[in-house]
Chain A
């Protein structure tokens, strides 16, 4: 029984980690007032870049960092459209969701002999598990804590984003431009710059999330790897009321649901896994209806800001 619980919780953390990174990205971007529905496409870019760079460099950490940078470039693209050109945030995000996967598969076919999946990283070249071998195999602490380094990194990132958002000047500015850009502007905050930084950061985080999937949880990039995780991360942002700690909790819940599907799938056919898989989404709807107040969102979200322009 205890072993089962440990297994479940350990798997929860593993499945949640890509979502955590990505939802942190969403949290930062949305707090600055820019809707980022392109998280999905950015995750695909990250997943591919991590796998490709990891494969060619032989170093997973280089791959993971490259994933963040590559997806950050797509964040920059989103920022150019939304911040500089006052584009519709959702439409630009949809464009990213076509461009990201399109470019990833395109480059993949060029680099990997026409295949849309990358070659696997060797087990030793994946993101390492720092606590591997510390505990007896399949013991409770082993099941619980023997996780890929990115899972721990994700938890650290939550704390870091929380600290930046609520304990630093930059964070105050991010929230200010998301809440009332005109007021922030009068106080001398460079609204556009702050939004640029936030959106590029959100791309970086989404890239880490994608990379976590491709080179920690599995060992390659393939089509369908992301399939909707970016959207789930977006839901987690809203579920968590636009706060990093809230998004973290929502991601753990989604991760738990995924772990439960795997857990039950291994043991019984009685409960259809499809119904289980449906739960997080249904739950999100319920929560949106019942608990998330209308006032939770940053006030200026989705609204373009142009100094001196009337838009």
Chain B
């Protein structure tokens, strides 16, 4: 496993006779999503639930109120960003399984600097974001360096680094200057470090009075969710990732390495440097996701019993988004919405909300099979030839 290349997934180039639509990545992703939804429906049916009703509940869980739409977006934000992290590495031919650990490192840094440092918000927020960025870059870049220097496969090293980050975070939370008394969590971050939207105001006396007076209004409804500026940062990051990958020399080199390592080396690109740099940037992005989650939502970090899965979900988001910057935004919103809407299934229908994991897993399973498109295309061709052969009768 040390030395192998990962093929970039996506529909393999098919024969030119294949219809144009079948060759587009978006169509491929859409087919996979459709298959996932259908398989999920069949599983629900077998288990004795009405799939139409169940998917209806999920949709209602997302679109029934401005609050739910906002909550779905909030749920999507961290995994859009970890997805971008995975995408960035993927385009250099690297598999960043380590987004999970880099996320933890980012949230750890945000929590520590959030309560330990005293600054006005205008400096505090950028300081935390920059620090998380640097820490994540170091964490991810280390895996890149191990790959570049020693040929340690990044899948293995990042799995190890995930667990080291996990225990490091739990260890730090246990320290006396970090731990909030009578809790298994860190101190809350200062108000100047928060990036939630009117978070302090909406729980103040004034805010509560306003919300009571205007209850049911669009704005009051939205405020019932944990709204924060994270989604704006996520969109900016998506743009930045797109720009770096597609419009800069660095991005060109990174993609060249991802496309063909040997050819890139031969053309004078420093493959080792690209490997380290790509993992460093990927790590930095994932760490930003963790920091944003703390600053925008949780305001502290808790001792973890198990991995939360933000990084692993990011892998799914990236794969479903065809490993493109803006694809991540769509697939992240899809994933986040499914999870948010799916949480209603248990309450309303008594149907296990784990159906979402089954749907997501099925989607990825079919995305793993780029040849699927070739098979479909072959079937299409066969039918096309058959219909032209017997075309005179029609």
Contact = CB atoms under 8 A, between A and B. Distances in A.
A98 B4 contact: no
Nearest to A80: B369
Contact of B160 (A98, A99, A285, A297): A285
A120 interface: no
Which bucket holds chain A's interface residue count? 35 or more
User: In the complex, which of the residues A102, A110, A227 has the most CB atoms of chain B within 10 Å of its own CB atom?
Assistant: A102
A26 B377 CA distance: 34
Contacts of A275: 167, 171
Contacts of B9: 88, 91
Q: Is the interface of A mostly helix, strand, loop or mixed?
A: helix
Looking at A94, A96, A224, which has the most chain B CB atoms within 10 Å of its CB?
A94
Interface residues of B, number: 56
Contacts of A227: 305-307
Nearest to A227: B306
Interface in A93-138: 94-103, 105-106, 109-110, 114, 116
A231 to B, nearest CB: 5
B358 interface: yes
Given A99-B358, A238-B1, A294-B3, A91 B152 contact: no
A91 B354 CA distance: 20
Contact of A37 (B5, B151, B155, B167): B155
Contacts of A92: 365, 368-369
Contacts of B367: 91, 95
Nearest to A242: B1
Contacts of A292: 2
Contacts of B2: 238, 292, 294, 296-297
A94 B167 CA distance: 23
A218 to B, nearest CB: 15
A86 interface: yes
A267 B329 CA distance: 50
Interface of B: 1-7, 9, 43, 47, 95, 146, 150-153, 155-157, 159-161, 163-164, 167-168, 170-171, 174, 305-307, 312, 315-316, 319, 346, 350, 352, 354-358, 360-362, 364-365, 367-372, 375
Interface of A: 30, 35, 37, 77, 81, 85-88, 90-92, 94-103, 105-106, 109-110, 114, 116, 223-224, 227-228, 231, 234-235, 238, 272, 274-275, 277-278, 281-282, 284-285, 288-289, 292, 294, 296-297, 301-303
